Amino acid sequence: MIAFNKYYNQFNILSMLLITASLLLLIFKGLNYGIDFKGGTLIELRSSDSKINVSSLRDKFNQMDLGDVSVKKFGNDTDFLIKFENKDNKKNIIEEIKKNLDSSFGSNYDFRRVENVGPKVSAELLKAGVIAISLSLAVMLIYIWIRFEWQFSLGAILALFHDVIVTLGIFSLFSLEINLSIIAAVLTIVGYSMNDTVVIFDRVRENLRKYSDIKIFELTNISINETLSRTIITSATTLLALLAIFFFGGEILKGFSLAMILGVVFGTYSSIYIANTVLVRLRVSQKTVLREDDNKTV
């Protein structure tokens, strides 16, 4: 049996540091929103001419007066991702850009993807994203509140907040782009983290009913160990699937799978070191569970 409970305090401090750092990052550095949430235009360009590179593209686009332009390589050497604000929301911007590029590069390039999100839509998408994440947290709270005693709910929700905040904090730290698929990833993380916590909690509650003489400090450790191989195997298979997406699923899914990988890692960690420690700190005992059982039979 591994003595997870030996490090409850240390890891609680670590988690608090992580959350504080993430919150500070989110407040002061903010998130790198993609065009889905910021509005603007994105062009994925593939070239068949070595003359077309990041610097020549940047020069060309900067001449076009499009506001802030970012040009980056995308995956391999021939693909580029160009993003700009398109502040005035010009109508025929794509056509104009094509004309401009034709004049210097001929037809040795091809627009593989064009996305243009107006300011109104991006504001709506951001709002919908925030609502979706808040709603999912609320729904999870209600679900767990129905299923478990309040101490458990608090533990699970704190673990969820931890996972979401730290994942977003890492995205902020490395300026990784937040787009619609990241919202999907965050929601899935919420589901996954909850799933992981619930399995351990289920065992904690079962053990609470079984043993009246074991303190919660010890009991959580027993429960974590009993469910440990399941926790490891499920995390491992999920991570294997996600790594496959990350490495082979193409550039578009990179951010999504990265967020999910982080979420799974933190979700697994938080089920053990946040959710359970909340139970310990709230001095959950057999009485907590039995009282609830009594209420239910009445």
Q: Quick one: 1 or 27, whose CB is closer to another protein?
A: 1
CB of 40 to another protein, least distance (A): 11
Whether the CB-CB separation of 26 and 167 falls below 8 Å is answered with: no
Q: Is 140 in the site for another protein (CB under 8 A)?
A: yes
* Per-residue interface string for the shown chain with another protein, residues 218-247, x marking contact by CB under 8 A: --------xx-xx--xx-xxxxxxxxxx-x
CB of 3 to another protein, least distance (A): 20
Q: Is 153 in the site for another protein (CB under 8 A)?
A: no
Taking residue 118's Cβ as centre, other Cβ atoms within 10 Å add up to: 13
Q: Is 192 in the site for another protein (CB under 8 A)?
A: yes
- Give the max Cα distance, the chain: 82
Q: Quick one: 144 or 284, whose CB is closer to another protein?
A: 144
Whether the CB-CB separation of 204 and 63 falls below 8 Å is answered with: no
What are the phi and psi torsion angles at 16 (to 5°)?
-65, -40
Q: Is 145 in the site for another protein (CB under 8 A)?
A: no
Residues near another protein, by CB under 8 A: 44, 91-92, 94-95, 110-118, 120-121, 125, 128-129, 131-132, 135-136, 139-140, 143, 147, 180-181, 183-184, 187-188, 190-192, 194-195, 198-199, 202-203, 226-227, 229-230, 233-234, 236-245, 247-250, 252-253, 256-257, 260
